[in-house]
Amino acid sequence: MKEREITALEEGLGYHFRRRAVIEQAVTHSSQAREQEAQQAGESKYAVSDNEQLEFLGDAVLALVTSEELFQRFPHFREGELSKLRAHLVSERHLIRVAQQLELGHYLRLGRGEEKSGGRGKTALLVDALEAILAAIYLDGGLEVARQFVLRNVIAPELERMERGGGSLPVTDFKSALQEAVQSLGLPQPAYVLVEEAGPEHSKTFTVEARLHTKNGKNAEFVGRAQGSTKKNAEQDAARQLLTFLASRPKAVEAKGARASSPADK
């Protein structure tokens, strides 16, 4: 790759490589590597590295970082719900959008045949290159730098997009998750109150409050308020707000609450 191409790629990735060889390998398709090997002659032949091994490593780093982030961000989600959300975030369907936004097709090193067949726009090649680049960042800068790259480009924008789309995360049973969460903390079950119903019969809007009470059950510690086209949808969104609140509470407060409700303290 030419120096200006590497610089442009680094700017797009938000990372400067100390070892240029690793990023060049990450964007080298096997068709280009085999073509270069075929052009060699005599005893000077040597193997040319492509991005297949880096792709393997990058896939593992992506799975680790995504799993850890979802585990931390959604502490009350069940294993199946976390798995479903992770599967979406690491899917080819999502990663191709990330690769296109980073314009990785401009930087691929392809053999002549792959170039002629439109390789720069092929989904599989672009996603493989994205995973290989992630591995290159990991090898060159370490896990924390790779984690920040994944959060910045793969996870955070997509979760924000999904939430803006009306809470369309592939995890919808927030009420059940909230029920389990308050039970584990020794808190009363939340109350769902329909506070407003507006609009014509065929197109109503329901406003629901989910009220999280303190241990004595008298005062509301936090109130989630949401609207929806059905009471069920509004209740789910309000429950999601309560889950977010519980996740933001200091761990010391939760631990204290748990001790207060233990049989030994009664």
Query: According to the model, what pLDDT value does residue 252 have?
Result: 36
CATH number of 3-164: 1.10.1520.10
Is the full-model pTM beyond 0.75? no
Q: Work out the pLDDT band at 261, boundaries 50, 70, 90.
A: very low
In three-state secondary structure terms, 266 is coil
* Position 118 pLDDT exceeds 50: yes
What is the average per-residue pLDDT within 202-230?
A: 84
Q: Percentage of the chain with pLDDT > 90?
A: 42
Query: According to the model, what pLDDT value does residue 260 have?
Result: 39
Q: Percentage of the chain with pLDDT > 70?
A: 86
Query: According to the model, what pLDDT value does residue 246 have?
Result: 85
**DSSP category for residue 143:** H
Query: According to the model, what pLDDT value does residue 42 have?
Result: 61
- Residue pLDDT, tens place only, 229-248: 888 888 888 998 898 888 87
- Residue pLDDT, tens place only, 60-82: 999 999 999 999 888 878 787 88
Class assignment of domain 174-265? alpha beta
Length of the chain: 266
In the chain, where the domains are located:
3-164, 174-265
Query: According to the model, what pLDDT value does residue 258 have?
Result: 39
Among candidate residues 228, 184, 193, the one with its CA nearest the CA of residue 75:
184
Same fold, 3-164 and 174-265: no
Cite the DSSP H helix spans in 167-216.
174-184
Any idea which residues carry the catalytic annotation?
A: 59, 131
What is the average per-residue pLDDT within 110-127?
A: 88
Q: Work out the pLDDT band at 263, boundaries 50, 70, 90.
A: very low
| CA–CA dist 122, 114 (Å, integer) | 10
Query: According to the model, what pLDDT value does residue 173 have?
Result: 67
**DSSP category for residue 262:** S
Query: According to the model, what pLDDT value does residue 262 have?
Result: 38
* Position 253 pLDDT exceeds 80: no
Q: Work out the pLDDT band at 49, boundaries 50, 70, 90.
A: confident
| CA–CA dist 151, 66 (Å, integer) | 8
Residues 6+ away with beta carbon under 8 Å from 264: none
Distance of CA 219 to the CA centre of its chain: 36
Least confident of 22-31, 65-74, 93-102, 231-240: 231-240
Query: According to the model, what pLDDT value does residue 164 have?
Result: 67
Q: Work out the pLDDT band at 250, boundaries 50, 70, 90.
A: low
Count Cβ atoms below 10 Å from residue 113 Cβ, excluding itself.
10
Structure tokens at 50: 């492509």
Strand runs labelled E in 140-235 = 191-198, 205-213, 220-228
Give the CA-trace dihedral at 128, 133, 138, 143, to 10 degrees. -80
* Position 170 pLDDT exceeds 90: no
| CA–CA dist 149, 143 (Å, integer) | 10
